[in-house]
Amino acid sequence: MKIAIIGAGYAGMSAAFDLVKAGHEITIYESENSTGGLARGFRDPKWDWSVDRFYHHWFASDEHMLGIIEELGLSDSVIFPRPYTVLLHDKKWYPFDSIKEALLFPGLGWGVNKLRFGLVGVYLRLTKNWQALEKITADAWMRKWAGAQVYEQMWESMLIGKFGKHYKDVPMSWFWARIHARTTKLGTFKGGFQAFADAFAEALRKQGVEIKLSVKVSSIRKSKEKNIVTLEGGEEEFDKILVTTSPKVMAKLTPDLPKTYLEKLLELKQMGAVVLVTALKHQLSEKGYYWFNLPKDDGFPFLALVEHTNYVSSEHFGGEHIVYGGDYIEAGHEYFEMDAEELMDKFAESFARINPKFTRDWVRKVWVFKADYAQPVPQLNHSQNIPAIETPIEGIYFASMSQVYPWDRGTNFAVEIGRRAAGLMMR
């Protein structure tokens, strides 16, 4: 078959990987000038490695991603440095990424709260019955079983930061997936995620996949026995088409889809993201902490501060210290209108709360990256809301982060859904 794939993120490239091996003719169209999707990176002239636009890492349990890396022969370039994630309690930061540190964390006290926290964690790790958990919100389930103090201390601010006003609507099945599948062991790729995306794309090209960068697709339609991709420079015919964009972009590209399918696409909710990347002259967290979970109810204007060079060495970045400030926000939020310097002004006070020595002259350069589709927002009984990969138009398929539920968005499940879509296309 002659197949088009819209989007050169990990879902699109993973689908292409399986399809071209089966002998099909594959063309990938990507509107950006590089592959990788939301995991794309950039590199300053001072650096040897690239930096992600939106910070990423792999979990040791990411079997789909680590599996395709092995098939590509790139496993030797995957590394698992030791990071430290910290939580705030009584104006102090405490490591919280191991059983020992959880037991020592003073925010839970020493009595029944710590016991409830442990039992909830064990239950969520062991149970596989997520379908029952999608009938109740995470807020209600946690308050009942973990208790109000444990929930509010440990998880409520994270839910608020991720989902904003929707946080009380998120089903417990989404939360189950985070606890059930993730590990504290975090991995990355030598050279950065863009180095992996480039290596992946090169492997595809060697197998015959044509990857067309900086090419925008304006519409997709059915014409007799073929499917038509409309580009700025004309039209191309294909036997089948896989679209790996956001639901709203899919709806715009394929207006001929039946009303019921279009409504499902447009009813899906999502949060956008804004990420500030800073190159600092000095280390921000002198204790070497990597990931700071920031409680917004304590005055922090964003969700997470991530010191990338406390995870991988600053020697890969010319001795500079790379720090992210990231937040999930809704459409229309003021951060979407701010440039990098304005966001730095907004976030600078929080940097100083991490290290009181911090001043603006530590900052050599800042970048800002924005996406209006970064975090799908699931609802109660969300499994009933997910659009099928195989659309009602014969030969047109759709694979997105909104369809990996109950799992959370991320590169691992982008690989899984891309390969699952390829399997359906070859069925």
**Model pLDDT for residues 300-310, shown as the tens digit of each residue:** 999 999 999 99
- pLDDT for 103: 76
- pLDDT for 181: 83
- CA dist 345 and 239 (Å) reads 51
Identify whether the C-beta of residue 227 lies closer than 8 Å to the C-beta of residue 381. Answer: no
Identify whether the C-beta of residue 292 lies closer than 8 Å to the C-beta of residue 351. Answer: no
Task: Give all domains of the chain, ordered by start, each with its CATH number.
Answer: 2-52+63-79+190-268+384-426 (3.50.50.60), 98-181 (no CATH), 269-377 (3.90.660.20)
The pLDDT tens digits of the residues spanning 316-326 come to 999 999 999 99
Q: If you average pLDDT over every residue of the chain, what do you get?
A: 94
**Structure-block tokens of residue 186:** 């975090």
Identify whether the C-beta of residue 309 lies closer than 8 Å to the C-beta of residue 283. Answer: yes
**Structure-block tokens of residue 270:** 């999502």
Side chain identity at 365, as an amino acid letter? Answer: K
Which whole number is the average pLDDT over 162-175? Answer: 94
- Percentage of the chain lying above the pLDDT 70 cut: 100
- pLDDT for 406: 94
Instruction: Tally Cβ neighbours within 10 Å of residue 210.
Output: 14
* 149: helix, strand or coil: helix
- pLDDT for 108: 81
pLDDT above 90 for 314: yes
- pLDDT for 154: 85
- Percentage of the chain lying above the pLDDT 90 cut: 84
Identify whether the C-beta of residue 143 lies closer than 8 Å to the C-beta of residue 151. Answer: yes
- pLDDT for 172: 97
Quote the pTM value. 0.94
The pLDDT tens digits of the residues spanning 6-43 come to 999 999 999 999 999 999 999 999 999 999 999 999 99
Confidence class for position 373, pLDDT limits 50, 70, 90? very high
List the one residue out of 410, 324, 351 whose CA is nearest residue 55. Answer: 324
- pLDDT for 114: 86
- pLDDT for 68: 98
Q: How many alpha carbons fall within 13 Å on the CB side of residue 230?
A: 9
- CA dist 395 and 182 (Å) reads 35
- CA dist 8 and 32 (Å) reads 9
The pLDDT tens digits of the residues spanning 210-268 come to 999 999 999 999 998 899 999 988 999 999 999 999 999 999 999 999 999 999 999 99
- CA dist 291 and 305 (Å) reads 6
Which whole number is the average pLDDT over 92-103? Answer: 81
- pLDDT for 345: 95
- Positions of E strands within 50-117: 51-52, 58-59, 78-79, 85-89, 92-95
Confidence class for position 202, pLDDT limits 50, 70, 90? very high
Q: Across-strand partners of 6?
A: 29, 243
**Structure-block tokens of residue 141:** 């389930």
Q: What is the DSSP letter of 418?
A: H
The pLDDT tens digits of the residues spanning 100-127 come to 787 788 888 778 888 888 899 899 999 9
pLDDT above 80 for 98: no
The pLDDT tens digits of the residues spanning 380-411 come to 999 999 999 999 999 999 999 999 999 988 99
